[in-house]
Structure 1
Amino acid sequence: MKHLLCAAALIALPFAAPVLADAPKEKAATPAATIEPQVKTRDLSGTFGGQRVNYRATIGETILTGEGGKQEAVIVTTSYVKQPRDPSRPVFFMYNGGPGSGSVWLQMGAFGPKRVAIPSDARDDGAPPYPILDNPDSLLDVADLVFIDPPGTGFSYLTEGTDPKKYYGLEEDAKAVAQVIRRWINDNGRWNSPKYLGGESYGTTRTAMVARELEGRTFNDVGLNGLILISTILDFAMREPTPGNELAYVVTLPNMAAAAFYHGKVQAPSVEAIAEEARQFAIGPFASALLKGQALPAAERAAVRAELSRLTGLSEEYLEQANLRVTDQRFYKELLRDRGLTIGRLDARYTGKDYDNAGETPDNDPSFYGIDAGYTAAINSWARESLGFETNREYQSIGGIGGQWNWSLGSGWGRNAYLNVAPFIGQAMRQNSQLRVFNAQGWYDFATPFFGAEYSLNRMGIPQDRVKFTYYDAGHMMYVRDEDRQKLSADVREFIQSR
C-alpha cells in the first residue's frame, strides 16, 4: 500500500546547544530557534489534456504548532496552480499511503506536470539517468493540484522534542492533514472552490479519515465535491489471513485468478471474464466451504478444490496441503515455481528470481524494487534542482513511521479489533448529497485487492449511485503502465468535469 513497507526514519532540525550544567542559574536555556518556513515558486507552462496551461509551481513548508506555540511539525506541500489564479476552479488535494510514503508516486507518476519514465511493460527501471518528461496526462487542465507529504514522509518532519504519538496514527495524521488543507485553502483564497480529496493505498484510508475531519465537524467545515480513491484499503480485516479469518482468502481469490491468467496458467477470454468467474465463486461456493470448516463434506470439498485449481493455476495437491487456504505470500512463490520465478505483490505482472526456488515466500517484491530507484531520483531532482527547494534532509519515499502507528480509532468502537473506515465515507456522503466517490483498481494488485475495495464500498450506508469503479491492466500503481496512466487521467478528468 504504497505501501505497507516500513524502515525507520525521523529527521529533526538542529536546535541551539543546551546550557552547560555549571552555568549561572540566572541564565535560562537558549530557546530553540524559530523555524521560518521555506517557500519556493517557479512560473512554468505545459500542455495537459490537450490544453496549454501557464501555472505556478510552489513547494513550501507549513508549520504546525502545539501547546505554548511550540513548532512541532514541518509539512511540505507542492502545489501547481493555473495562472492567472481562478478561485472558482477545482482544487485536488492528494497524498500517497504507507503510512510513511511520500507523495512522489502520484506526483511523479500520475498527475504532476512532470513524470519519471520507467519501463511500461513490467521490466525493472535499471540504473540512472531516468528521464524526467513533460506529463500530458497531468490534470492541470481541469484542476489545481496540491500534493501533501504528511509528517514523517517526503521532506516533512517532526521537530526535536515533538512526541511522535501526536502525529503518527489514524486520527492524529488525519487531523494534521486536515489542518494543512484548511491552511492552504485560507492562504490561497479557495474556500468556495470545488474541492477533491484523494490518495493511493493507505492514502485511501487517510481520505476516509480526513473527510471525517473536514466534513464531520460542526465548526469550520470544508465541503467536498469528490473523493478519489486509488488502490483502496478501507477494511483491514481483508488483509489479515490470521487463523479463523476466512474473508482474507475470499477477497484475494479473484486477484489470484487474474494473475494466473496474465501468466498463462489459466485460460479465459479476458482478465475481466476470469475476474468475474472468480468473484462469483469466491463469494458463493468458496466462502461457503471455508465457513463450514471441518464440517465441510468430502464431496463438496473435492468440487471446491477442483474449481479453485482451475481458477488459480495451482495443483489440487498443493491446495489440499494448504487446506484450501493459500496466502498471497505463498501464491507469489508457487504460481511460477516451475519456471523458477516469483511474481510481484504490488503488481503481479512483474517477475523476479530468488536465491533459490525451494522457499516458502519470495525474497522480495520485484514490483517494488523494479521501480523505486527511478521515482526517488525523479522527486529529488525535480524538487531540489528544478523548484529550488533547499534541504539537507533525505526525501522519505517509504519512511519508517508505520511501526509507530496508532491504529486505534479511539471513538468508542470497543477494542477496535476490526478496523474499517469505510463507514466514514458513507457518513460524509449521507451528509453531503453531492459528494461522489471515484475508485480505481488494478487487476494485478495484491496489496489492495480489487474485490476487497468492491466489498468495502458495497456495504450498508454508502449510496451506490454516487460510487464509480474503474479498472486497469496493471497493479497497485497502475500509472506505471503508459496505457493505464492515460486511462486513469482520462477517467479522473471525466469525474471532475462531470460535477
Structure 2
Amino acid sequence: MIQKIMIACLLVLGSAGSLLHAQGISAAANPNQLIMKELEVAEKNHNIQAGGKNLSYKTTAGFMHMSNEEGKDKAKFYFTSYTLNNVTNPVDRPITFVFNGGPGSSSVWLHMGGLGPRMIEMTEDGEALPPPYRVIDNPNTWLDKTDLVFIDPIETGYSRPAIGEDKKQFLGYVEDIASVGDFIRAYVSEFQRWNSPKFLSGESYGTTRSAGLSGYLQDRYGMYLNGIIMISAVTNFATLNFTRGHDLPYIMYLPTYAAIAAYHNKLPQEINDVENFIEEVRGYAKGEYASMLMKGDQLTEADKQKLADKLHQYTGLSKDYLDNTHYRIHISRFVKELLRDQKNTLGRLDGRILGLDYDHAGEGFEFDPSYSKAIYGPYSMAINDYLRRELGVETDLGYEILTGRVRPWNYSNVQNQYLNNSETLRNAIHKNPYLKVMFINGYYDLATPFFATEYTVDHMMIAPELRDNISMKYYESGHMVYIHKPSLEKMTVDVREFYDVTLQK
C-alpha cells in the first residue's frame, strides 16, 4: 500500500558563498530554493536475526518529490530507509546515509551486498550462483548499530529529474554534492533526526561524494557529522589517471599488482605472508621505484636491469615485457597480461575473479569478469525483486543499476586539473575534531588501489593531534570488499567497533 504524505518543508538545492572554495561549490550552482513537495512511500515492519540479536525494524521505501517555490516539480529522489523499532529515545540512535559511486551507480551494491538487512546470496568467494538467485537475511547488517538510509542519486535507481527538467542540473561533482546534501538535510528535518548521531558511508565515487558532503553539510547547514566510512576510496584522482608523463598511478598500483600476482601464484618466489610481502612492495614503490621513474630517459643500463629484476619479482611479468613498457604497467594491460599464458583475464573490481575473452592476444580484457560475470546479474535480480515484492514499491520505472544516463559528468569546478577533494575532508576534520573517518581497503581492488588511498591520506596534512581521527582497515578482497564472505565478516566486526569508539563519550 502506497502512502502519500504531504509535507511543507524547505529544501534548498544549491549552495552559498561561504562554502569551501576547495570544493568548487559556489552560489552560482543551482541557486533556486526548492520545496520538498511530498513523500510517496511504502512502509512495512520486518524482523531478522543479526549480531546475535533479534532486530525488529521498519522500512520506508519510495520517493521524495521536490519542487521550486512556485510549485514546479524539479526531481524525485528514490530512497530506502531502515529504522529500528522500539527505540526508547530516537535521538540517541545513530543514522547513516549510504550511497555508491560511479558516477552513475545506484546504491544497490552496499544495499544488497553487505549493509542492509537482506542481501543477495553468493558463493563464499563472491561469485554468482546459478540463476535464479536468492535474497537471504544478512546477519552482518549494520542495522544493529545504526539506522540506514540508502540514497540513489538522480538518474540512478528510480531517481529522476521531473518531466521537462534539464538533467544537467544534477549531473556533476558540484551539482551532485548539492542535491544529495540537500536530500540529507530534508530527510533529517522531516524525520526529526537533527539531534541523532550522523554518519555517511560511500563506496568508490561515493567516497568522493562523502568527502564533498563533509564540507557541504557542515558549512551550508551546520550539520556536523560523527563519522564517515569510506569503502574503496578515491578523493584524489591524480592517483588513478594513467597518462604519459604522469608517473604517480604506476607507483600507486604496484602493491595491488603484487598482491594479485601473489594470489594467483605468478611470482618467482612463494609468498607465505601476504601482509609482510605487501609492506615490502610499498617500501619499494615509494622509494627506489619512484626514484627510478623520476629519472626518465636518464636511466642507465644498470638501472634498467635493477628495475626489471624487482618488477619481475613483484609482478611476475617477464623482464622483456617490462622493458617494453618502460617499466610502467598500465592497469588495462595488467588485467590481460598476468594470466595470458592461461588464457584468463583479471577482474578490475576484484583481481581474484577471472574471465575468458575471444581474443587471447588482445591488449585488454573484453569485459570485467568481476562485474559482468560475478555481480551484475545477481544484484540486478535482488534489488528489482526485493523492492517490489518485499518492500511494496510501486513504479513503472526501470531500476538503473549502473547507468550511462549521467554522462557527461560535469567536472567544470576542476577544469584543467585533477579532482582532489581530500582538502575538503581535512578542513571538515579541523573544524569538527570529533569527526572520525574509517577507510576500508581491498588488497585486490584495481579500481581504487589501497596504496593510492594511503598516499592521499598522507598528503592531506592533517594536524598531528587529529591524525588518529583516521583509521585504515584492509581485507583480502576487491573493490566490493563485502562479496567475499570472510572479508564481510571481518568488516562487520571493524565497523561495529568504529561506531562504538566514535560514539563513546
Q: How high is the TM-score relative to the length of structure 2?
A: 0.89
Corresponding residue of 2:12: none
C-alpha distance in 1 between matches for 2:122 and 2:146: 26
Q: Does 2:114 correspond to 1:114?
A: no
Contact 1:261–1:274 (8 Å) recurs in 2: no
Corresponding residue of 1:423: 423
One-letter amino acid of the structure 1 residue matched with residue 198 of structure 2: K
C-alpha distance in 2 between matches for 1:471 and 1:72: 41
Where 1:249 maps in the other structure, the secondary structure is helix
Corresponding residue of 2:206: 203
Alignment of structure 1 residues 336-351 onto 2, 5 Å: 336-351=339-354
Corresponding residue of 1:89: 93
Give CA-to-partner distance per residue, 1:465-484, whole Å, 9 cap, x none: 11110011110001111111
Give CA-to-partner distance per residue, 1:260-296, whole Å, 9 cap, x none: 0000012322221221111111111111111111012
Alignment of structure 1 residues 61-100 onto 2, 5 Å: 61-66=63-68, 68-85=70-87, 86-100=90-104
The range that moved more, 80-89 or 249-258, is 80-89
Where 1:68 maps in the other structure, the secondary structure is coil
Q: Does 2:387 correspond to 1:383?
A: yes
Corresponding residue of 2:401: 397
The range that moved more, 469-478 or 457-466, is 457-466
Alignment of structure 1 residues 336-485 onto 2, 5 Å: 336-369=339-372, 370-409=374-413, 415-462=415-462, 463-485=466-488
One-letter amino acid of the structure 2 residue matched with residue 461 of structure 1: M
* 1:169 maps to which of 152, 156, 172: 172
1:402, CA displacement in angstroms? 4.2
C-alpha distance in 1 between matches for 2:351 and 2:65: 40
Where 2:282 maps in the other structure, the secondary structure is helix
One-letter amino acid of the structure 1 residue matched with residue 245 of structure 2: G
1:378, CA displacement in angstroms? 0.5
Where 2:254 maps in the other structure, the secondary structure is helix
Alignment of structure 1 residues 85-234 onto 2, 5 Å: 85=87, 86-123=90-127, 125-217=128-220, 220-234=221-235
Corresponding residue of 1:280: 283
Corresponding residue of 2:30: none
The range that moved more, 297-306 or 191-200, is 297-306
Corresponding residue of 1:48: 50
C-alpha distance in 1 between matches for 2:180 and 2:83: 19
Q: Does 2:503 correspond to 1:491?
A: no
C-alpha distance in 1 between matches for 2:38 and 2:91: 27
One-letter amino acid of the structure 1 residue matched with residue 319 of structure 2: E
Where 2:46 maps in the other structure, the secondary structure is strand
Where 1:69 maps in the other structure, the secondary structure is coil
One-letter amino acid of the structure 2 residue matched with residue 408 of structure 1: S
Which gives a bigger RCO, structure 1 or 2 (Cα 8 Å, sep 6+)?
1
One-letter amino acid of the structure 2 residue matched with residue 246 of structure 1: D
Where 2:407 maps in the other structure, the secondary structure is helix
Give CA-to-partner distance per residue, 1:368-422, whole Å, 9 cap, x none: 0121100010011110011110011111110113422111336xxxx45121111
One-letter amino acid of the structure 1 residue matched with residue 230 of structure 2: L
C-alpha distance in 2 between matches for 1:437 and 1:416: 29
Q: Which runs of 4+ in 1 moved over 3 A?
A: 34-37, 66-69
Give CA-to-partner distance per residue, 1:207-234, whole Å, 9 cap, x none: 01111110123xx311100011000011
C-alpha distance in 1 between matches for 2:418 and 2:73: 35
Contact 1:98–1:402 (8 Å) recurs in 2: no
One-letter amino acid of the structure 2 residue matched with residue 448 of structure 1: T
C-alpha distance in 2 between matches for 1:126 and 1:132: 12
Alignment RMSD: 1.5
Give CA-to-partner distance per residue, 1:280-327, whole Å, 9 cap, x none: 111111111111110122212210221011100000000001110110
Corresponding residue of 1:12: none
One-letter amino acid of the structure 1 residue matched with residue 388 of structure 2: R
Where 2:491 maps in the other structure, the secondary structure is helix
Corresponding residue of 1:235: 236
Contact 2:217–2:223 (8 Å) recurs in 1: yes
Contact 1:458–1:464 (8 Å) recurs in 2: no
Corresponding residue of 2:254: 253
Where 1:307 maps in the other structure, the secondary structure is helix
C-alpha distance in 2 between matches for 1:424 and 1:35: 31
Change (3 A) 1:36 1:88: closer
Contact 1:427–1:461 (8 Å) recurs in 2: no
C-alpha distance in 2 between matches for 1:473 and 1:408: 37
Corresponding residue of 2:23: none
Contact 1:211–1:425 (8 Å) recurs in 2: yes
Where 1:79 maps in the other structure, the secondary structure is strand
Change (3 A) 1:458 1:207: same
Corresponding residue of 1:31: none
Give CA-to-partner distance per residue, 1:76-131, whole Å, 9 cap, x none: 110000112422111111100001101110010011000000123254x2542211
Contact 2:103–2:205 (8 Å) recurs in 1: yes
Contact 1:95–1:147 (8 Å) recurs in 2: yes
C-alpha distance in 2 between matches for 1:109 and 1:88: 27
One-letter amino acid of the structure 2 residue matched with residue 437 of structure 1: V
* Structure 2, unpaired ranges of 5+: 1-35
Contact 2:218–2:428 (8 Å) recurs in 1: yes
C-alpha distance in 2 between matches for 1:272 and 1:402: 38
One-letter amino acid of the structure 2 residue matched with residue 133 of structure 1: I
C-alpha distance in 2 between matches for 1:364 and 1:126: 19
Give CA-to-partner distance per residue, 1:152-191, whole Å, 9 cap, x none: 1111111122112210011111111111111111111111
Contact 1:178–1:213 (8 Å) recurs in 2: yes
Give CA-to-partner distance per residue, 1:434-482, whole Å, 9 cap, x none: 0010000100000000001111111143342111100111100011111
Where 2:288 maps in the other structure, the secondary structure is helix
C-alpha distance in 1 between matches for 2:40 and 2:131: 29
The aligned length equals 459
